[in-house]
Structure 1
Amino acid sequence: MWKYTSCSSSSVHLVSICRYSHSARHDSCLCVPASDMVLRFYAKGVRRSILPQESASASRNRFLKRLRGGEAMRLWIALCVLAVALPAASAPNMLLNGGFERGTTGWSLPGEAQVVSEGAREGRNCLRISTNSPGWTVAGQDCLLPRGAKRVRLSGWTRTQNVRMGANPWEKARLQITFYNANGELVGGYPPGFDIDGTTEWTLYTRDYEVPADAVRVSLIAGLHNATGTAWFDDLRLEAFDMQNNPLQPITESQTDTRDWYPLDSSPDDYTKPAVVDLSRYLHRPAGKHGFVTVKGGKFVFQDGTPVRFWGVNIVAGNVFMDKTTAERTAARLAKFGCNMVRLHHMDASWAQPNIFGNHPTSTLNLSPEMLDRLDYFIYQCKRHGIYIYMDLLVHRKFQRDDGVRDWETLENGAKIAAHYNRRLIELQKKYAHDLLTHYNPYTKTRYVDEPTIAMMEIINESTLFWLGGYGALPPSYIQEINDLFTEWCSKKGVSRPQGSVPDLLRQKNSTVGRFLYEVQTATYKEIHNYLRSIGVKVPIAGSNHWENWIGDVLSNAQLDYIDRHAYWDHPQGGYSPTNRFNNSPMVKQPAGSTITWMGRQQMEGMPFIVTEWNNCWMNEWISEAPLLMASYGSMQDWDGLLQFDYSGGDWAPRMEGSFNVGNKPHVMAARVPAALVFLRNDVPPTGKSYIYSFKDADDWLLRPMGDTVPGGLMLMQRVACQKDAPQTPVPDVPTDNFTSQHGLLRWSREGVFLINAPRTQGAVGFIGGKALDCQNARIEAQTPFCQVVLSSLDDQPIAHSKRLLLTAVARAENSGQMYNPSRTSLLDEGKPPILLEPVRATVTLKGIRATKVHILDHHGRRTGKTLPVTGGKITIGNEKTFWYEVEVAPATAK
């Protein structure tokens, strides 16, 4: 059987001709260009390179001798036809640094990737990716398609060593492209790529692809896809052609025109001075004045019956251990912005500088007195300012030589998966919790277990026995341990043990192993939960918060006190450097696929639900959209807490940095003010009717995704929750493009426009430029294409009766000199100080109320002494170099 495949190199078009022998079970292949130059010859399953001195005719004759009878003539007729049909054009490389001669420039690389000189195919360098743990270990680069592109050619050289296939046939060394539209959505599916396993020499892979109609961007990945081994890549190319096969010139960079943007005034705030923007009045001073947090009626309430919602941030790793001045300023700033909870995260990480163990080189058995003192003082400052503490226990602890942990060198940070069943790891978790939580804080004069400022805690961060991807990182002894536990469990249950390892059975979604994992994980959670109660912990306790949503995992966590989940929009890919890849797609244009709809499927009826990690990550340029969207729908869904990941600092920063740190993103911090008001005041109440998704804890349900039958858009229309064995609510008709909440207070469309029309908060977020958007008390007409314009009552009265309003107007922000790659999916230069803010040019026309004065506020939320004129009820903004205005209002004069 002959197979003919069109392929191409960087300079010539090739035809691959293969004859497959069913009896010998091998291919004989020839790759022939129009120029008749032979590149490779395959026979009897062994690849043999054509020697440079061997002529094309000699190669051809050697190949033809292998053919039988008339096959040679038929082959050459086919070659002639294909050689005439194929174009021979080539185009400039759209990839930046496709040969890795400039090191890592232009590429998003995983930690397992290195640019090396040893073994390069040609030139000085090539890319090597090597891993012993299956995972998504790929390099990537995105390219903006030139105007008129109809065809893209992928080519590149690859060699492999001991690449072992993962669970699926495509999980090998991989070279592949995908296409995306202007909203960052995948278009054209997943075109065929090149998948290679085993050990191979340098081989050229090339293929042409039709460009989908809506595509504006092409993304290349090269690496190991859930496989182990080593792969090398060199001379990677992406070329674009128009309808007539003419080569197109690539776009080399992209820089925003910021000539009319203004610099942020990053001078320190004086927190002793009153400010218009100061939400600390919504916080309890001191925290804990209403007693410990408890759970009643499926909600968080204090001991005295006071209900509470938590709006806050995470403080991470070494940032937790501040000096006293920074602790004071950080707590003051968070309180001013309305944060009433801080989650203390990654305190145990080995990479944290410092960490809670004082970065001891051989042991994590003892807590550092110096770090505890710093932690004590920050908790004390939080208590003073009305900020509650969410305490993490096991997060990213790297067990050390003296800890008595088996295979500690190769055990993953945080002991993911193993910490759920290994007895030594469970006992060490208890010891850490005991030492931390029974510690006496000399500043608050209480032990942590007796301090109501510490509001809740979790046992282990982002870990679950249901996470198939985590088993690949386990040392073999821990795989053997859980296999033995499964064998013992089956024997005790009197059930036949299925053949295979626990990870293999989990991959097969075996119902018996699903029940086993559920029972083991739940038993460990309950054991540690009971231990925490025995040492005096009084507050709610959660199990974990993995981003996957298997029913078995969520149900296991539901056996404790509340549900906690995590979700990110545009999480950086391949690492956390600004040069790593991001999609740069606005969430506001993908309502049904947003993180809101993802998290909403995991709320359990009758239990508090908190999201302790969420973010729309920088360098995505649309991230100011996130706070109001999250607060509005979180409030409508009646969630109990939203903690953005992460935060540091007591002042405005001179420069933006870090994919997650919102503390140095001024446009995000400004947008958090109206969002905090929405969430803390419950400005968007839950819808009157809830959709209840029913599921069972039967074995065949445990390995199903939570809420897999719930349309994403439903979470934008009414409250959604899950309940075991409840009557199934009929699924209502759900639109695909425009979503209006059941009570009419929220509207969100796929064109990228979100409107909130609540009594105390009214405004719009997204691509609202050039539109006239009506709320009950205001019409918003923005000229800035993407922005947020929001009116908030400052005296808690409905806007129609309020005397003071806050007008928030934010758009984008960049560092000075910040430069993107052509597709704006990576930074070539992350820029320098100062931060530049895009001005929002808009007109707000008040309805039913009359503005008597509009004060321009500075970046600390205080009056500057300057005002804006109000003509005919219209407030026109855009030249004031601020994102906040105070509007004094009175009822409109009756006609």
Structure 2
Amino acid sequence: MGLRQPVYRPARRPGKHRIQRRTRGGSLRRAGDRSGVPPLLRRESGHAGQLSEGSKMRRFLILFLAVCTACAAWAAPRITPDGEILCGPLRLRLAWFDGEWRMTGQERGTVFPAPGYPLEQPELFELEGTLRLFHDAGELRLTERVELLPGALKYRAALRGKPGMPCRSAALILELPVAEFGGKTLKADGRPVTLDAVSPAAAYPELRAERIAIPLPEGELVISGKLTGYLQDERNYGGNFYSLRLLGTPEPGAETAFSWELRFDGIETGVTLRPADKAEIFPVDISRAANMAWRDETAGDGKGGWTDQGENDVRDLTPGRQVFFDVPFELLDPGRNGGKSCMVFSGPDREYLLKSARIDGIGRRGERLYFLHALSWAPEDVRTVATVEVAYTDGTAERLEVKSNRDVCNWWSRVRADNALIAWRGRNPQSETTLYLSGFALDPARTVESLKLTPAGSAVWMVAGISIGGEVPALRPQIRRKITAGKEFRPFEQQFEVEKDSALDFSFLNHVPAGKFGRVVAAGDHFEFAERPGEPVRFYGVNLCWSAHELTHAQSDLLAVRLARLGFNSVRIHHYDMMLTERAQNRLEFDAERLDRLDYLIARLKEAGIYVTIDLYTTRIPAREDVPDIEIRSLHDFRAALPLVPSVRENFKAFARKLLTHRNPYTGNEYRREPAIFSICVVNENLLPAPWKEHPQLPALYRRAFADWCAGKGIAVPAAFDDSPEFRRFLLDLQQQTYDRLSGFLRDELGVRALLSDNNNGESMSQTPERATLDYTDFHGYWEHPVFIEKPWSLPHYYTQESAVRREAAVPRLGMACRILGKPYMITETDYCFPNHQRGEGGLLLGAYAGFQNWSGIYRFAYSHFNTAMFEPAACTMFDSVRDPVNLFADRIGALMFRRFDVQPARRSVPFLFTSDDFPGYAVYPADYTRAGLLTGIGSLDASRGQTFAGLEGPAVVTAPAGKAAGVKTVVAVDDKLLAGLAAAGAITLPRNGVYRSDTGEITLDSASGTLRVVTPRTEGFVLPAGQAGKGELLELAAPDTFTSCVLTSAGMEPLAESGKLLLFQLTDVMNSGITFRDSENTVLEDYGTLPLLLRRGRIGAALRRGAEKAVKVRALDMAGRRTAELPVSEKAGRWHFTLDNSITEEAVLCYEIERIF
């Protein structure tokens, strides 16, 4: 890998979960306009409550009897448009917790009133609408009625969902600020409960009472009825309040429904219900400055819409008056404004867009200038991305700075920053999309005449709307969350080694030693051994990085055996070149001790039947005397200089020569002659368009080389040379030329026979021509690669916390089209990254779809970056699977499925055919074409090189542009009817309602429900969110109580129906103790936490179809494969029934052994 780019914290007692809230100010304040403090735009969510074990299905009555005589602020309740009740410092709202314990609170951004609501009168407030749950968990019907009576307040509300909708709890939450209630004593049926003002660790009893009295400055607030609830202290996690949660229970009937009735008595007479204060805010007309539309038709053509990335746009944004957090914006209709609706400013890769924009004739005063906006190609740190010059009518002016990751963030992420609220959420064929709301302080005493907006060039800035006016009411700060052991998670100790000959010993898959059948060769679309022609072989491996190669001999002995038992037959030696040379004066001398350790490790891997792939350049920085004509400061400099600076190329060759001609004393072979080293990546992640501008010397070299290239083509040098189609073509030609030079050196001068590859990152169609010349295609793809919010490779990180299944298997789908048909394909870096809570789905996704597309290699990034972490327990981090049992066991599933060829390859293929003359810029493959990869085989062919493939004889090909596939039955062009065209040609069956079924019938993905079903003769596997059941041919699963990846597979090579020993995997989630997130959706990671690891508890009912066996035994296994407990099994109606429970023993249970007794 290049150096690039739920939470539910149970308290100590069952049934208690903690809310956390930061105490940073709460409104669009005068964001440090004079003091330098950034504006705070935050909102709050809550946290998971839980139904009491003793709660029954009943409707209950809650009476609030209030004596509020302290002051008018306490006596006059206020109601927000979303139905929250605010009374002085008290806040009352509803909350829903889905099957994964993810909370959605009643607040701005989640409540969507029905037309005509809310109804607001002096003595009545009524609300009807929907509560839209986070994480695509569905919608609820919300009704609320608040009636003011003489001296009293009546409240009624209900939340109703579809039948069977997963719900852990619905709660009414009353927040009690510490400042007002710390040290005060509540009474539950007369029993005193004192809120500890000093220690946030105080434990509180569960509240079961008919009367709860809460003291006020004068008098008390009395809640009466049949009450079940609990108190929580939120100061542990940044909050400044206690929370009282009164739990509801489902109403009778088919719906999942909860209801509440409340009465407040003692309200001061003569007051009226009043809405929360609203500021007067006016939209600014940007129609004359707008330069782009919401929708873009053709990527990279310099016109059209949004960021000029084709379907990667905001076409689902609705024009007209839109209100976000009480701030109105007027979103332009491009059909009424000459095709223009927004302002998009120039930046990286889009220098042809707006250089500046001036908006005149504003004529308004206000405390705030509001922007609805986002960034593309955004910096990972906090830096100025634009300036806004505000001119007042009195001749004065001021300058505002718009900063990334403070005022605005990337439109593909959903990161909340200090002055960037997530205002609008959308989705296009490639990604979820976001627009942010920001507020900047103005001088309210002066009238704004005009604005001048200027980008800083560090990002593409997209402005959808501007408004001016007063401050919005207080916006609640975000809630931090921390996970510790409790009812939801339980601690366990990790185990590294696998018991020999246990059910989890997969070393039987490996032949020994590696190289036994000669070298690996590329034979059409697969690998095979030279001495076993016609027999395809696949590799499932891991990356070892940095000090993970630096092992003692004893550690290498242990690791090689361990990796084989885990099911791996390959290792990628990565990020080793810096380690090998960093102690040397000239960076071309190898450290003798480290080289010896690398030699020994490779020898032991070979002995265990594990093949090696290696990169010749990853991170090594040469000494200045080795490349005297240019300063190499980073790996990016090296990769950018390699094509044009002869001394850098010679340095590359010198390192490659020294390494590949080195004789390993433990194998007796030079690296270039070692059959166990089967493939070489020439330069890791070396796509040229990105890094060359960042070096002070390189731009001049690139300009000169481009001028020479243009002269050779007989064309003039374009004025905007580095943003022209010609320059992009030049870069790709240069990349091809560089690979040809370096691969020629390896083949012709060094005699290297290992398979060679290059250009392994990126999804651009323009990479296909070079990839077509490689021995095999290599690709890197991640689900939930961290987004660095403030500083690269440092906390905090952003994650979407989405399931890849709900995103139509985005990984591995987005890499499918990059494959060159007719050649082997490997993905040498992939990960479903921690701390995504659904990452256990990765093993089944990879094992299924990589097999379906007939790929040849899969490599987890990474097994480890550190030697110590492989032998001593350590907390999970973003990549290393050795620390993460979920990904480690997901790879057990993937390795078995992929290496045994469990999934049938697609029955046909639909090639993406184009010539190098069709050069499509840097556009990625159309999303609909990648979706076809869930239905049939896909991949690319460069017709200009005379490539052919059996799929060309099939029913259809896809071309860009159309009409360049003579002799093919049907040619389908790239447009929004692509899938329909393929279906009409008989190449695919159209997906319906988000359900994709492979043409083999073995894989069914339902993106709407978030489920995956894979049924083959050797394996039956399911990805199941809470509340979703699964059924295969042999295995039937009841709906689990938490997100679960559950896979039944043969423990050997036999089909399930004939195997006497089966394995059943149950993967939920593993977190670190104390892991902390900034927000209620667990998207911003602030602290990794520590040991011990915590396993999310999970139960799921299972039934296995009875065959010829007389009985079955189901045994829980520990991580080493040892049997730890036997589960009760019953037989009914021809099926064996049992319940999986991963907390049945003290050890973590991620897999069970099923023995059939015949």
Query: Which interval holds the TM-score relative to the shorter structure?
Result: 0.7 to 0.9
Q: Which residue number corresponds to residue 640 of structure 1?
A: 856
Determine the C-alpha separation between the residues in 2 that align with 1:213 and 1:425: 46
Q: How does 1:201-240 map to 2 (within 5 A)?
A: 203=400, 211-212=423-424, 227=456
CA–CA distance in structure 1, aligned partners of residues 454 and 610 of structure 2:
43
- The Cα shift of 1:327 comes to 1.7
**Residues 175-214 of structure 1 correspond to what in structure 2 (within 5 A)?**
195-196=386-387, 203=400, 211-212=423-424
Deviation at 1:385, TM superposition (A): 0.9
| Counterpart position of 1:265 | 493
- Partner residue, 1:572: 786
For the 8 Å contact 1:279–1:337, the answer to whether it is kept is: yes
Q: Which amino acid aligns with 1:770?
A: G
**C-alpha distance in structure 2 between counterparts of 1:212 and 1:336, whole Å:** 48
Give 1:718's aligned residue.
936
* Offset at residue 634 of structure 1 (A): 0.6
Matched, 1:693 2:912: yes
Q: State how far apart, in whole Å, the 1-side matches of 2:629 and 2:437 are.
A: 40
Q: 1:480 aligns with which of 674, 678, 700?
A: 700
Amino acid at match of 1:293: V
Q: Please state whether the residue corresponding to 1:607 is helix, strand or coil.
A: coil
- Which residue of 335, 359, 376 corresponds with 2:564? 335
Correspondences of 1:99-498 after superposition (within 5 Å):
151=325, 166=348, 167-168=350-351, 195-196=386-387, 203=400, 211-212=423-424, 227=456, 247=474, 249-256=476-483, 258-260=485-487, 261-267=489-495, 269=497, 273-304=500-531, 305=533, 306-349=535-578, 355-360=579-584, 362-410=585-633, 412-413=635-636, 415-465=638-688, 467=689, 469-475=690-696, 477-498=697-718
- AA at the equivalent of 1:516: F
Shift of 1:840: 2.5
The counterpart of 2:825, out of the listed 573, 589, 609, is 609
After superposition, the Cα gap between the structure-2 partners of 1:585 and 1:172, relative to the gap in structure 1 and judged at 3 Å, is farther
Helix, strand or coil: the match of 2:1033? coil
Q: CA deviation at 1:227?
A: 4.8
Return the offset for 1:267. 4.6
* Partner SS state of residue 461, structure 1: coil
Question: Aligned residue for 1:236?
Answer: none
Q: CA 1:817–1:429 in structure 2 vs 1: closer, same or farther (change >3 Å)?
A: same
Q: Distance in 2 between matches of 1:331 and 1:620?
A: 29
Within 1, Cα distance between the matches of 2:1155 and 2:388?
69
Task: Give 1:421 deviation, angstroms.
Answer: 3.0
Q: Is the 8 A contact 1:625 1:766 kept in 2?
A: no
Structure 2 vs 1, CA of residues 807 and 170 (structure 1 numbering), >3 Å: closer, same or farther?
farther
Q: CA deviation at 1:518?
A: 3.0
Question: TM-score scaled by structure 1?
Answer: 0.72
User: Deviations along 1:835-879, whole A, 9 cap, x unmatched?
Assistant: 011133011101243552112211101223645434431121114
CA drift of 1:472 comes to 2.7
Q: Which residue of 2 aligns with 1:590?
A: 807
Letter aligned with residue 636 of structure 1: F
Separation of aligned partners in 2, 1:463 and 1:551: 16
SS across alignment from 2:805:
helix
Residues of 1 paired with 2:458 and 2:922: CA distance?
A: 31
Q: In the alignment, residue 887 of structure 1 is paired with which amino acid?
A: I
Relative to structure 1, the CA distance from residue 222 to residue 388 in structure 2 (aligned partners, 3 Å threshold; closer, same or farther) is farther
1:815–1:834 contact (8 Å) kept in structure 2: yes
Q: Distance in 2 between matches of 1:427 and 1:865?
A: 61
Using the TM superposition, give the Cα deviation of residue 275 of structure 1 relative to its aligned residue in structure 2, in angstroms. 1.3
Output the CA distance in 2 between the equivalents of 1:176 and 1:370: 58
1:363 partner SS: coil
2:551 is paired with a residue whose SS is: coil
SS of 1:788's equivalent in the other structure is strand
Mapped to 2, the partners of 1:515 and 1:793 lie a distance apart of 50
Superposition deviation, residue 441 in structure 1:
0.5
Q: Judge conservation of contact 2:1127–2:1138 (CA < 8 Å) in 1.
A: no
AA of the residue aligned to 1:858: D
CA separation in 2, counterparts of 1:461 and 1:196? 37
Corresponding residue for 2:890?
671
**Residue equivalent to 2:839:** 623
Do the aligned residues in 2 keep the contact of 1:412 with 1:473 (CA within 8 Å)? Answer: no
Measure, in 1, the Cα distance between the counterparts of 2:794 and 2:700.
37
State the TM-score, normalizing by the size of structure 2.
0.57
Cα-to-partner distance string for 1:42-87 (whole Å, 9 max, x where unaligned):
xxxxxxxxxxxxxxxxxxxxxxxxxxxxxxxxxxxxxxxxxxxxxx
Q: Structure 2 CA distance, aligned partners of 1:625 and 1:559?
A: 34
Distance 1:302 1:12, change over 3 A: closer
SS in 1 for 2:768: helix
1:132-163 per-residue CA deviation (whole Å, 9 max, x = no partner) reads xxxx9xxxxxxxxxxxx961679xxxxxxxx9
Residues 412 and 388 (structure 1), Cα distance of their counterparts in 2 relative to 1, 3 Å cut: closer
Match of 1:792 among 1040, 1049, 1060: 1049
- Relative distance call for 1:225 and 1:414 in structure 2 (3 A) is farther
Q: Which runs of 5+ in 1 are unaligned?
A: 1-8, 15-32, 41-88, 95-104, 107-135, 137-148, 155-162, 181-192, 231-240, 350-354
**Which one-letter code corresponds to 1:774 in the other structure?**
K
Equivalence map 1:504-583=2 (5 Å): 504-505=723-724, 510=725, 512-533=726-747, 534-547=749-762, 549-574=763-788, 575-583=792-800
- 1:818 aligns to 2:1079 (yes or no): no
Of Structure 1 and Structure 2, which has the larger fraction of its residues in helix? 1
Query: For the residues of structure 2 that align with 1:407 and 1:222, how far apart are their CA atoms?
Result: 45
Change (3 A) 1:577 1:494: closer
Taking a change above 3 Å as real, the CA distance of residues 628 and 176 of structure 1, as seen in their structure-2 partners, is farther
- The secondary structure found in structure 2 opposite 1:591 is coil
Structure 1 residue 175: Cα displacement: 10
SS of match in other structure, 1:587: coil
User: How big is each residue's C-alpha offset from its partner over 1:485-527, in whole Å with a ceiling of 9 and x where there is no partner?
Assistant: 22222323333333343x232xxxx1x3344333322222122
Cα 1:741–1:164 change in 2 (3 A) is closer
Q: Is the Cα–Cα contact under 8 Å of residues 782 and 840 in structure 1 kept in the other structure? A: no
Amino acid at match of 1:294: V
State the Cα distance separating 1:688 from its structure 2 match: 0.6
Which of 1071, 1089, 1094 matches 1:831? 1089
Supply the RMSD in Å over aligned alpha carbons.
4.1
Report if the CA contact (8 A) 2:603-2:666 is conserved.
Answer: yes
Could you say what secondary structure the match of 1:674 adopts?
A: helix
Q: Distance in 2 between matches of 1:253 and 1:152?
A: 24
Counterpart in the other structure of 2:1144: 880
Contact 2:1077 2:1086 in 1 (8 A): yes
Structure 1 residue 296: Cα displacement: 1.2
Q: Which moved more, 1:725-734 or 1:323-332?
A: 725-734
- Deviation, 1:250, is 3.5
CA distance in 2, matches of 1:546, 1:296: 24
For 1:657 and 1:876, locate their aligned partners in 2 and report how far apart those are by CA, in whole Å.
29
Cα distance between partner residues in 2 of 1:179 and 1:522 = 35
Give a deviation string over 1:759-782, Cα, whole Å, max 9, x none: 111021141x32331101111114
Q: Is the 8 A contact 1:399 1:413 kept in 2?
A: no
Alignment correspondent of 1:747: 1004
Q: What is the percentage of aligned positions where both structures have the same residue? A: 27
Q: Map Cα deviations across residues 166-197 of structure 1 (whole Å, 9 max, x no partner).
A: 544579999977799xxxxxxxxxxxx98328
Question: How far apart, in 1, do the equivalents of 2:872 and 2:1010 lie?
Answer: 30
Q: Deviations over 1:198-241 (max 9, x none)?
A: 999763889998944899999789999995689xxxxxxxxxx9
1:736 Cα deviation (Å)? 5.7
**Deviation digits for residues 103-122 of structure 1 (CA, Å, limit 9, x no counterpart):** xx99xxxxxxxxxxxxxxxx
Query: What corresponds to 1:188 in structure 2?
Result: none
Closer/same/farther in 2, CA of residues 473 and 798 from structure 1, 3 Å limit: same
User: Could you give the per-residue CA deviations for residues 364-396 of structure 1, whole angstroms, max 9, x where no partner exists?
Assistant: 222222211110011011101111100101112
